[in-house]
Structure 1
Amino acid sequence: MAYRLLALDIDDTLLKSNHRLTKETKEAVEYVKNKGVYITLATGRSFISARKVAKSLKLSDPYLITHNGSFLASHVKEPVFERRIGAETVYQVVDILENYHCHFKLFHEKYVIANKTRQKAQLISRVNLQLTDPLFYPVHYVESPSHRLIDQPLSVLNIRAEFWNKRERRDALEELEESVTGIRITPGGKEELFINHESASKALALQNLASRLGIAPYEIVAVGADMRDRDMVSQAGLGVAMGDAPEEVKASADWITRSNDQSGVAYMVKEVFRKQLRIETPHQ
């Protein structure tokens, strides 16, 4: 079997827990690229943030699957696939989240709107590590995002909320599921909720990309680390879960590699692509 497309999650997959990209991982990605395999990143990060990682890997303007599958593009101004949460729905979600102790962000492709909070400063600082240079992807902190949205309605690609405790997250999740339609909510680690349009997923965006490149589903390797990756991993020709992924993700995978801190991507590349000959695939 010759694989022609490799989709890699970023956080907890490509990057170590300290958010570093190791030399071993860079070399592994270069090795796969030299085999003629098309490489994309499939991430919850913004397009602008993912593009910085792609440049670190020396990928030349590839199509990137970002915002948890809501945005597929090779240039931020030219999406080829997008699934936005409508302005009215964004307001409904924000109106609910403001009743809970949480820090939330509304992700547009060019900027972020976030609620101001004096609590959990260290949590907010850690979340901001996953953003990029504020000069290129600014974060606007607002006292009352719901009031702003009344005056300036906004459709966004995804919403991310991190709660102070499990009870708050549970109650917010229940209220959102009961009150808001048209969205997909995925709980994450660290008391997070990830909110997207109901038809947005990394799996669907990856299918769109593969079709665009003339690549069959069985020719795809997809590597992921959390619940947002489960559909992508389960539907790929070879689905790979990181060693410290949740059990549900591992159960949906064909193969389990080492953890991100044990260079799991590099280990997977050695095991899966070592004997594969170079193939012709779309330019990257």
Structure 2
Amino acid sequence: MIFRLLALNIDGTLLQSNSRLHRSAKEAIQYVQQKGVEVTLVTSRSFPSAKKLANSLKINNPIVTSRGAYISSTDEKPIFVKRLEEDIAFEISRLLEGFECQFRLVNEQFSLSNRSKLSNNLMAKTIFSAAEPAFYSHQFVDSVSEALTQNPMTPSKFEVFFEDEEDLDDVMKALKGMFVEVDTVKINKLRLDIVPEGISKLNGLLYLGERLGISSREMVYIGDSEDDIPLIDAVGLGVAMGNSSFEVKKAADWVTRSNNEQGVAYMVKEHFRKQQPIEFLRKMNIIKN
């Protein structure tokens, strides 16, 4: 099979556990680009955060961010955007303020969060800000719903950290009963993402593939999280990182080394060295478009 698109998750995949990009990963991306293979990022991160990494990797294709709600090139207007309506964002915020949690509304320009209610007051705030570039604005307020009354917002997603697993389950049930316009993604027992209905990393990748004229069977996807499983299942070659859970590895066609052992570089060099450059394959009429 000839693969024309390489798609990668960021955290736990491209980046090491210290959130740094190893030189070998950058060299691997350049290697496949020189062969004419398209490259993109697929992430739950906000666009400004992912854009910074895409720029450093010289990725010119649109990148799939905010779990598929915002797809854009680094230097162009978005090709796809879906946001939660102002009134829905307000109602969700009011609901979440009744629970012991810290939550953040995210769009491509700034984020809005309540001040932490968690036992470890620094935990969620650190998690919220560690992955974001310095120029991305973060605002912390005592009451998000009151702030939205003054300045309504249409976020691409909510990120929520809970103190108790039962609270997370209760919020998921409540949202299912209140709104048909939202979907929930349980990241782990204490972390929940709330996104517009129909939004997912997989749908974002498939949308981008249609724009590029590349089918899912011509894609390679590399990921490490359980929310990467649908993408690993859907593409022509699904790859799990060595630091993935058993469930992710079980779903994959290929398991590479961990993110701290240059797993992306190892997989890319091992597989794509066998594939001829895309332009050569076109000249040989092996690829028609």
Using the size of structure 1 for normalisation, the TM-score is 0.91
- Once the two structures are superposed, residues 92-138 of structure 1 have per-residue CA deviations (whole angstroms, 9 ceiling, x without a partner) of 221111111111110111110111126423312133111111x3x10
- Return closer, same or farther for 1:241/1:216 CA change in 2, 3 Å cut-off: same
1:266 & 1:198 partners in 2: Cα distance?
A: 35
2:247 & 2:117 partners in 1: Cα distance?
A: 35
Residue identity opposite 2:129 in structure 1: N
2:266 & 2:177 partners in 1: Cα distance?
A: 43
1:215 & 1:30 partners in 2: Cα distance?
A: 20
Alignment gaps of 5+ in structure 1: none
Does residue 266 of structure 2 align to residue 267 of structure 1?
Answer: yes
Alignment gaps of 5+ in structure 2: 283-289
Does residue 131 of structure 2 align to residue 130 of structure 1?
Answer: yes
1:254 & 1:138 partners in 2: Cα distance?
A: 40
1:257 CA displacement: 1.9
Q: What's the counterpart of residue 11 of structure 1?
A: 11
1:25 & 1:176 partners in 2: Cα distance?
A: 39
For the aligned residue pairs, the C-alpha RMSD in angstroms reads 1.9
2:175 & 2:244 partners in 1: Cα distance?
A: 26
1:276 CA displacement: 0.9
Q: How many residues align?
A: 278
1:277 & 1:228 partners in 2: Cα distance?
A: 32
Pairs within 5 Å for 1:37-116? 37-59=37-59, 61-75=60-74, 78-116=77-115
1:248 & 1:183 partners in 2: Cα distance?
A: 26
For the 8 Å contact 2:168–2:189, the answer to whether it is kept is no
Pairs within 5 Å for 1:70-219? 70-75=69-74, 78-117=77-116, 119=118, 120-123=120-123, 124-133=125-134, 135=135, 137-189=136-188, 191-219=190-218
SS of 2:278's partner is: coil
For the 8 Å contact 2:71–2:79, the answer to whether it is kept is yes
Indicate the percent of aligned positions where both proteins have the same amino acid.
Answer: 38
SS of 2:122's partner is: helix
1:13 CA displacement: 0.7
Residue identity opposite 2:51 in structure 1: R
Higher RCO (CA-CA < 8 Å; seq separation 6+): 1
- Return closer, same or farther for 1:43/1:101 CA change in 2, 3 Å cut-off: same
State the structure with more CA Rg. 2
- Return closer, same or farther for 1:118/1:84 CA change in 2, 3 Å cut-off: closer
1:265 CA displacement: 0.9
Q: What's the counterpart of residue 28 of structure 2?
A: 28
1:91 & 1:172 partners in 2: Cα distance?
A: 15
For the 8 Å contact 1:68–1:228, the answer to whether it is kept is no
Does residue 275 of structure 2 align to residue 276 of structure 1?
Answer: yes
2:48 & 2:236 partners in 1: Cα distance?
A: 28
1:165 CA displacement: 3.3
